Amino acid sequence: MKKLFLLLTVAMLSACTSSIHMSQVDVGTNSQQELASGKVINIEKSQKILLGFVYDSNYVDQAYKQLLLQCPNGTSMINVEYLTNHGFLSWTDKIRIKALCKQA
């Protein structure tokens, strides 16, 4: 009974932990119009890593390219978040970008 309780506790505690390494917000000058009624876009790119073998960080470049595509006139405010979801002998690195696109 004691071992079963221990096993259940371990299973519960080992579920889906995360770590946010960085979250930064930047705002451009003359962005009042977009702050009042701008379009917010969300971009999330990730990379699954097994046993620590990492050979590139292309997901960051993909997120940046997606940002340029979705905001062709540029951005007036941007939030970049870099985090890790932990797993069994593996983890997933994620980059989340929220931005206010400049209007044409």
Partner 1 sequence: MPIKLQSILGLSFLLVGGCSQLHHVHIGDIDQSQGRLTPFTIEVNELGFDAARTAEIGAGMAKSASTSKDLEFVALILAISNFGPKTGNPVYNDAYADQVFYEVIKVCPSKKITGLTSVREATNVGPVSGEVVRINGYCIN
Q: Is 47 in the site for partner 1 (CB under 8 A)?
A: no
Q: What is the amino acid identity at position 35?
A: L
Tell me if 90 contacts partner 1 by CB under 8 A: yes
Residue 72 within binding range of partner 1, rule CB under 8 A: no
Give the interface segment with partner 1, choosing from 9-17, 56-64, 65-73 (CB under 8 A). 9-17
How many of the other CB atoms lie within 10 Å of CB of 102?
19
Please calculate the CA angle 64-70-75 and round it to the nearest 5 degrees. 75
9 contact partners, CB below 8 Å, separation of at least 6: none
Binding residue (CB under 8 A) for partner 1 from 65, 68, 86, 103: 86
68 is an interface residue for partner 1 by CB under 8 A: no
